[in-house]
Structure formats: C-alpha cells, structure tokens
Amino acid sequence: MLRRSLLATAAASLASLALPRLSGAAEPPGDRQILHVLDRLAFGPTQEDLAHVRSVGIERYIAEQLNPKTIPEPPELAARLAELETLSLDPIELFLRYGPALPGIGMKPSPEEAKARRETARIIVQEAARARVLRARYSPRQLEQVMVDFWFNHFNVFALKGLDHLWIGAYEASAIRPHALGRFGDLLLATARHPAMLFYLDNWENSAPGSKMPFGREAGINENYARELMELHTLGVDGGYTQADVVALAEILTGWGLARPRMPPPDRSGFYFDPSRHQWGKKEFLGREIAPGGVAEGVEALDMLAKSPATARHIAGKLARYFVADAPPRALVERLSARFQESDGDIAAVLQTLFASREFHDSTAAKYKSPYRYVLSAVRAAGVPVNNPRPLLGTMARLGQPLYFCATPDGYKDSEDAWLSPDATVMRVSFATALASGRLPLQAKPAPEGPVVAAAAATAEPVDAAPLDSLLAPAISERTRAALAAAPVELRAALILGSPDFMRR
C-alpha cells in the first residue's frame, strides 16, 4: 500500500511536468510560500498583494503588516468608508438617534413606532458589515483586518440581543480595531467598558443585592459576564477558577454599566460606573484580597486576568490554532505563551514570534477555511470588484457564519471540524460557480433590502480563468489540474475557486 502510493505520487509529479498550464506564467521559487503567508496574514492572495510580496520579500511584508499604520490606505477605500455615516457615531449618539424612544419623556412609542425605529436602525449593522467586507477586500492592511475579525470573534457580541444592534459598529471601531495589534490588557478593558459588551452579557444590570436600577427596578448579582470573562475571554475553561471566583468577580464588577442618555455623561463612551449599585466591601478573587475601591476593583481584576499565565496559554493556543493548525504543536504554544507574558500581552510581539516560527512556515494548507474566509478569499483571488456586499454576506449566513449574528459568547470556531459538512461543500462549489460566471450582483448599488441574489442578470463579466490560474498555480494540486483540463473552458474559473485546494489555506 505504502509502496503503491509512493509510486502513484511519483507518477503524478511526472505527469504534471507534461501537462500544459492554462497560462504560460513562470513560477519563481518561493511563490508557494508567498501564497501561504497571504493565506494566513491576509484573507488570501490578490494579484496586487502577490506582486507586492514578490517585490519586497516575505520578511518585509510581515514586518509591514505588524505595523499597519506604515501602510498607506487607498484613498478610494477611505472615500467609500467615509460615506458610512453611522461608523463615526459614538454610543450615546447612536442611542439618541436610533434607539427606542425614552420612557418618561412624552409618550411611550407605539408598537408600530418602535418597529419603525428598529427598521431605521438596521442601517447600523448594514454599514458595519459593508465596512468589514470592503476593508477585507481592498485594504492593504490585511493583518489588521484579520485581527479585527479574530478579536471581534473572541470578544463576540450579538447584533440581535436587545440594544446591541445599535453598538455593533461602534464596538468594533472603538473597542476592537484600535487594539487589534496592541496590548491584550487594553483590548480586554476596552471590551469590558463598552456598552455592547455590558449589554450583551448583562453586566449593566449586575448590582449589589437590594440596589435599584435607574428606573427603580430592583437589581442584584448577575454572574453571566463574570463567568464568560474568565472562561472565554481570559483564563480559559481550565484556567483554575472556581464558582466562588465567578461570584467574587461578579461582585467586583457590580455597578459597571451604561451611561444614562439624558444625563450629561462624563465622556462619550457610554460607560458609567454607578457607585450606588456597587457591592462595597472586600472580596477574595483568585486567592488575592481585593480592597474596596469601587471601579478600581474591576480594573485591578481585569489586570490580574490579563497578566495570568492561564490567559497567556489560552490566547497563545487560540492564535496558534487560527494561524497554524487546528491542533497546533505544543512547543509553539509554549513559546507564544512565554512571549505573551514577557511582552505584557503585546499582540504584535506574539504574532512576530508566531510568523517567524518553523511551525508556521511548515503548515501550508493545514487549515480549512471558515465560510467568512472562503467567501472573501474567492472575491480577492478572482479580482472581482465589490460594491454590494449582500451576496457575500448572504453566502456566509447560508454557510452558518452570518457576520455579527453569532448568538453565543464563544464566537465562531475556526476549525475544519466546525465547518466541513456535506451541505457546506455543495453550497461552496455552487457559490464558486455563481461568482465565476459573473451572476452575483456584486457591482450593483448596495441594496440593503430585497432578495439577496436578485434576479441574476449577468451584468458582470465572467471571471477569466487564466490570471486566476496563474495567481494560484503553486497551490493547485495535480488532481485539480487534471479535472480542469477535462472541464469545459467556461467552468474552469469555477472549478479553481470551488476546488478542494481553494477550500484550504
């Protein structure tokens, strides 16, 4: 059996020499490795990115990506993002403009009015999603986009929970994006203080027993955020905390809540610490005594969590799974964990160690793409212009990964196990075929309402297989190449984008 497969491999590689390529492009040494780097640091290669890495080299590219501010953004992208008005509004402004009408002032809104306001507010999530897709498609700061996705997912909030539809875009813009390559402790604190997280995991109501919420309702301890903060955001489920620590952390975080929109806020963040709902008194948390200090107790606890070796291991493991393999080498995780601790949670420093590792370089095509990545990498490789992201968002949703609509705080998994399924496979090849044939209305004016794939008039050109083939050539297997050779010419681009090779990164 072993002998036979060796022979078969040898035969296949001989055959490959004889098979004509669709394009005559020569293949400079190292292109496979460039594709690998673009499959991990970026949402897959584009013609432009491949050319850029060929010219500056892989090491320089990685260094650039770790310092995104040094990479100029195209003015066209900036101009299109500037059109999205809700992206620049702060949480207070979003609440006042798009939130439910306030009780206590005039009439309570009728159900119709409330529904109409919710409808109007849908623009917020639509604009956030549009910005996400445009940046992923066009921004040369690809690693930043990748890390925004990674951290948003790590600190997931759900657009359909209560008021969170108001704050999805603001959360990403102010809590996630500024820290995506920064310090983990800053990122953690920014998420903990953001109205989107305070609302999503109910901490805005977490109060000392017997205290009262602004409109007089009784409130008490709520463990939800405290538990997920340790289990998912920091220590990990095996991080060594107990039920008593969950309760202690919940007590520490009592009073961390939302600013009241009619009161002059101390700042525009939407965060407000309510001392009257804080449980005063000392607490014992993770074996340390926390002295009564109001909001400072929470800051201290978050700092303890950010600096814990368990957090370093948890985050290092998650980064290694995301960037290297579903079951990453233990030695790598240990090195990343050590780097995390030495650097006080400097995310770029940890990634630098990761990208320089042998394990990273040796993990070509080890990962199965999530639906989000699969869809984005297809439009990038095909070079298809995107103006209307709805067909892409619809496909992500149909594949089980709707953007901003993950209901649970663990976020989406990033493993083959989570995404490879019979239904997903036929859906992916069907998407690839529709994309390659030019039948997705991606260039249409963005139409927020109406069917996702409106009567598919072939307005766009079909994708040309030749440049696609030359871009991806080093990552196309001989089996795929044989199937391409046997297929009708008009299906070749579809087959490349729908191939098993392109499902991996």
Partner 1 sequence: MRRRDFLLGSAGAALIPLGNGAWAASAGNSGPSRLVVVMLRGAVDGLNVVVPYGEDAYYAARPTIAVPKPDAAEGAAVALDGHFALHPALNALMPLWQTKQLAFIHAAGSPDPTRSHFDAQLFIENGTPGRRVTADGWMNRLLASLPGAANGVPGPTSALAIGANLPQILKGRLPVANLPLGPAAANKLAIDRPEVAQAFDRLYDTDDPIGRAYRQGRAARTELIAGLNSEQQMADNGAPLPNTFPTQAARLAGLITRDRNIRLAFVSLGGWDTHVRQGSHSGQLADRLRPLGQGLAALAQGLGKDWADTVVIVISEFGRTARENGDAGTDHGHGNALWVLGGPVRGGRVYGEWPGLAPAALYEGRDLAATTDYRAALAAVIARHLRLSDRALTQIFPDFAPARSDIDGIIA
Counting residues that bind partner 1 (by CB under 8 A) gives 55
Task: Identify the residue among 10, 15, 420, 447 touching partner 1 (CB under 8 A).
Answer: 420
Min CB(348)–partner 1 separation in Å:
29
- Decide: is 77 part of the binding site for partner 1 (CB under 8 A): no
The one segment of 43-51, 69-77, 135-143, 217-225 that binds partner 1 by CB under 8 A: 217-225
Min CB(115)–partner 1 separation in Å:
16
Q: Which is nearer to partner 1, 291 or 456 (CB)?
A: 456
Task: Identify the residue among 400, 446, 467, 474 touching partner 1 (CB under 8 A).
Answer: 400
Task: Identify the residue among 362, 423, 447, 461 touching partner 1 (CB under 8 A).
Answer: 423
Tokens 């080498």: give the residue.
329
344 in the Ramachandran plot: left (φ > 0), alpha (ψ -120 to 50) or beta? left
| Cα angle 42-46-51, degrees, rounded to a multiple of 5 | 100
Nearest to 442, CA basis, from 378, 492, 399: 378
CA dist 7 and 14 (Å) reads 11
Binding mask 342-371 for partner 1 (x = CB under 8 A): --------------------------x---
Can you tell me whether residue 194 is helix, strand or coil? Answer: coil
Task: Identify the residue among 429, 444, 460, 466 touching partner 1 (CB under 8 A).
Answer: 429
- Decide: is 424 part of the binding site for partner 1 (CB under 8 A): yes
Beta bridge partners of 271: 258
Binding mask 246-265 for partner 1 (x = CB under 8 A): x-------------------
The sign of the torsion formed by the CA atoms of 182, 186, 189, 195 equals negative
Q: Restricting to residues 482-501, name those near partner 1 by CB under 8 A.
A: 483, 486-488, 491, 494-495, 498-500
CA dist 329 and 341 (Å) reads 19
The one segment of 109-117, 127-135, 336-344, 479-487 that binds partner 1 by CB under 8 A: 479-487
The string of DSSP codes covering 440-492 is S-TTSPP--SS-SS-S----SPPPPHHHHHHHHGGG--HHHHHHHHHS-GGGH
- Decide: is 7 part of the binding site for partner 1 (CB under 8 A): no
Tokens 């770790």: give the residue.
66
The 10 Å Cβ neighbour count of residue 123 is 16
Binding mask 184-203 for partner 1 (x = CB under 8 A): ------------------x-
Task: Identify the residue among 112, 289, 417, 449 touching partner 1 (CB under 8 A).
Answer: 417
Tokens 């260094």: give the residue.
63
Residue 118, classified by CB atoms within 10 Å of its CB into exposed (0-12), middle (13-18) or buried (19+), is middle
Nearest to 501, CA basis, from 36, 188, 190: 36
Binding site residues, partner 1, CB under 8 A = 202, 205-207, 209, 218-224, 227, 231, 237, 243, 246, 368, 398-400, 407-408, 410, 416-427, 429-431, 433-434, 437, 479-480, 483, 486-488, 491, 494-495, 498-500, 503
